[in-house]
Amino acid sequence: MQGFTLTELLVVIAAISLLLALVIHVATAVRSDSYRASEMAAARSLGVAWNGYALDHRGRVLPGYAGGFRARDVAGDWVDTQTTPIAANRWPLRLAPYLGHDFSSMYSGPVASLLDELSASPTEEILYAVSVHPAFGLNSVFVGGDENYGGFSEVFRETFGDFYVRRLSSIRRPDQLVVFATSHSEEGGPSGDRGLYEGFFRVLPPSWVSPLWANVHDPEDPASSGFLSDRHRQAGGDSVCIAVTADGGVTAETVESLRDMRRWSNLARHRDDVLGATGP
C-alpha cells in the first residue's frame, strides 16, 4: 500500500492548521460576544440602580468618592469603616443595596472571574476588594463629586461653582453625560499582585483644571485615557468601551469618541474645555 507523498502530507497539515485557526477564531469571537453581552446587561443594571439611588434620595445623585457617606452590607448592617478602611468612600458599596447586593452586576465580562478569587476571603477583604475593582468606573469628578478632585470642598465650590452634578434635575444632557464606563488600572488586584487589571472604581475625564489624558491612547497604560478600558470589539473591528449615560442609556464607543469634555462635564460647552474659575 502506497503512503502519502510529502506534498500530500503538507496539504493535509495546512488544511488542519486552517481548520484549527477557524475554530479558535470562532471560539474567541463567541467568548468576546459573551463578555460584551454580559457587560451590556450589567451596564443597564448600573444605570437603573444609579437612578434608583437618586429617586430614593430626593433627586440627589450617588456621591462619587467621599468620606462620611455610610454603606450597608447584605444583612442591612452598617459597614464598619474602621474595619474596612476607605471602602465605604467608594461608590460600589453605597450602590450595592440598589443591585440587591449582587456583586456579579458589578463584576461582569472578563472581570467576573475575580469574584471566584474573593469567595474564600474574609468579609472585610471581600468588601474592600469589591470597592476597588468593579468592571465599571464612575465619572466621579463631574458626577456625584470626588474629594480627591475638589468635590465637597467649599473652597473649590466658591472658585469653580457647581462644577459637578449633585442632582438629577441639574443635568442638561442626560443622554450624553457619561456616568459609568468600562475601566482598568495598574493597581494591585484582589490577589495583591501588581499588573494590568480590568476593572477600577474611577474613570477620569479628559480634562479637569488641566488636561488629564495623554495625546495618544495607550491600551497598556490605563492612566493615558483616564482608566477607560476599550476591551470590547465592534463588528467593524474597532476597540470600544461600554458607557452608561445619565438617562440610563448604554453605548459602545471608542476612546477617541469619548475625548470630548461635553460627554463628561455638565458645564462643558466645547470639546476641549477645562474647568475654569468662576469666583474670586
Average of pLDDT values for 261-271? Answer: 96
| Rounded Cα–Cα distance for residues 216 and 11 (Å) | 44
Strand partners, 181: 137, 243
User: What would the pLDDT profile of 204-260 be if each residue is shown by its tens digit?
Assistant: 999 999 999 999 999 999 999 999 999 999 877 899 999 999 999 999 999 999 999
Residue 36 pLDDT: 83
Give the gyration radius of the chain's Cα atoms.
22
H helix runs in the chain, sequence order: 6-56, 91-95, 114-118, 123-132, 154-160
Q: How confident is the model at residue 68 (pLDDT cuts 50, 70, 90)?
A: confident
Which of 98, 72, 69 minimizes the C-alpha distance to 86? 69
Q: Where are the domains of the chain?
A: 6-263
Residue 26 pLDDT: 47
| Rounded Cα–Cα distance for residues 53 and 96 (Å) | 10
SS3 241: strand
Share of the chain above pLDDT 90, in %: 55
Amino acid found at 99: L
Q: Is the pLDDT of residue 23 over 70?
A: no
| Rounded Cα–Cα distance for residues 279 and 204 (Å) | 24
Which carries the bigger pLDDT value, residue 241 or residue 17? 241
The pair phi, psi for residue 169, each rounded to 5°, is: -65, -15
CB 21 within 8 A of CB 218: no
User: What would the pLDDT profile of 174-185 be if each residue is shown by its tens digit?
Assistant: 999 999 999 999
Which carries the bigger pLDDT value, residue 128 or residue 279? 128
Residue 35 pLDDT: 79
Residue 22 pLDDT: 63
User: What would the pLDDT profile of 120-163 be if each residue is shown by its tens digit?
Assistant: 676 677 778 888 889 999 999 999 999 999 999 999 999 999 99
Q: How many CB atoms lie within 10 A of CB 201?
A: 25
Q: Sort 187 into a burial class: Cβ within 10 Å, 0-12 / 13-18 / 19+.
A: middle
pLDDT averaged over every residue in the chain: 85
Min mean pLDDT across 18-27, 77-86, 127-136, 261-270 is at: 18-27
Residue for cell digits 460576544? 33
- What one-character DSSP code corresponds to residue 164? S
Residue 27 pLDDT: 45
